[in-house]
Amino acid sequence: MIQLYNVCKSYQKDSSAALHNLNLKIPKGDFVYITGPSGAGKSTLLKLLYCAEKPNRGQILVNGQNITRIGTGHIPLLRRRTGIVFQDFKLLENRTLFENVAFPLEVQGKKRYEISNKVYQTLKHVGLHGKLHKYPLQLSGGEQQRVAIARALVIDPLILLADEPTGNLDFEVTLGIVDLFKGANARGTTVLLATHNREMIRRFPRRVIALENGQLVDDYTP
Ligand code: ADP
Ligand code: ADP
């Protein structure tokens, strides 16, 4: 599903590499934690996978496609099968929950009735179908993250990328969020979750890929 070969990424010439000669294989349907101290390269790895950044060297294959070669015109197609969740949610504050979650389907040009069915189902799945017409700032942080996850899942992604999705949430709320990732994974989505949260990994042990200074220092399944 995801293959990296000798991937190097530096943001500036002469600066030390954010990722250095990274080799990685993640099979379809895996659930993988990306761990490591701040600055280790976790976000950079995720950014390369959704083409927000390009590597300086090396090859990245996603679903058999070499994404280091694709032109900007094809990036939207790649993103159609990739859901992304950020620590700070990145919801549109002047849009309702419904509108936030509908957005990726509108971009794909889906029909209106398809959109409303799918958005309703997905918000139901994350437990927020009673708040369709609320705005993000009327919700708690945990609820906002559920909306962000609904927005990522509404496209039925092959891959779900999450960058410190529970970084600002308390532990009870975190467990609920992890359940949503588990659910998506159980339905076949490959999940990559960057986190500092050891307790999460202890409670839900899955493959761990540890980065340090842009290098892979550990890869194990507890
Ligand atoms: P992590 O997510 O593990 O905290 P990052 O991937 O954000 O690590 O960062 C890896 C390294 O790349 C760090 O040294 C960071 O300062 C650097 N870096 C990240 N983004 C940028 C950027 N946009 N411009 C310059 N340097 C960056
Ligand atoms: P769980 O097993 O986590 O309780 P289910 O897979 O049983 O969840 O799903 C509950 C309901 O939510 C079902 O009606 C299902 O169709 C719907 N659902 C689940 N995941 C999604 C999704 N990603 N998008 C839209 N609807 C979903």
Tell me the domain boundaries of the chain.
27-53+73-220
Specify the pLDDT at position 74: 85
The C-alpha atoms of residue 26 and residue 62 are separated, in whole angstroms, by: 10
pTM above 0.90, yes or no: no
Burial pattern 81-94, b for ≥16 Cβ within 10 A else e, equals: ebbbbbbebebeee
Q: Which amino acid is at 127?
A: G
CB-CB contact of 208 with 198 (8 Å)? no
Contacts for 139-145: CB closer than 8 Å, 24+ residues apart? 139/97, 140/173, 141/89, 141/168, 141/169, 141/173, 142/169, 142/170, 142/173, 142/176, 142/177, 144/89, 144/91, 145/85, 145/89, 145/169, 145/173, 145/177
CB-CB contact of 96 with 135 (8 Å)? yes
Give me ligand 1 centre to Cα 44, in Å: 6
Residue that the structure tokens 């990036």 belong to: 75
SS3 115: helix
Residues with CB under 6 A from ligand 2: 121-122, 124-125, 153, 183
DSSP labels, 30-58: -EEEEE-STTSSHHHHHHHHTTSS--SEE
CATH architecture of the domain covering 27-53+73-220: 3-Layer(aba) Sandwich (3.40)
Shortest-distance atom of ligand 2 to CA 187: 6
With the most atoms of ligand 2 within 8 angstroms of its CB, the residue from 121, 126, 185 to mutate is: 121
The C-alpha atoms of residue 171 and residue 177 are separated, in whole angstroms, by: 10
pLDDT < 50 regions, the chain: none
The C-alpha atoms of residue 91 and residue 22 are separated, in whole angstroms, by: 32
**In angstroms, what CA-CA distances link 20 with 26, 52, 188, 197?**
18, 18, 30, 24
Shortest-distance atom of ligand 2 to CA 121: 26
Give me ligand 2 centre to Cα 183, in Å: 8
* Ligand 1 neighbourhood includes 42 CB (under 6 angstroms): yes
Shortest-distance atom of ligand 1 to CA 45: 6
34, two tokens: 């990306």
* Ligand 1 neighbourhood includes 189 CB (under 6 angstroms): no
Please report the ipTM that was assigned to this predicted complex: 0.73
Ligand number nearest to the C-alpha of 35: 1
Shortest-distance atom of ligand 1 to CA 41: 6
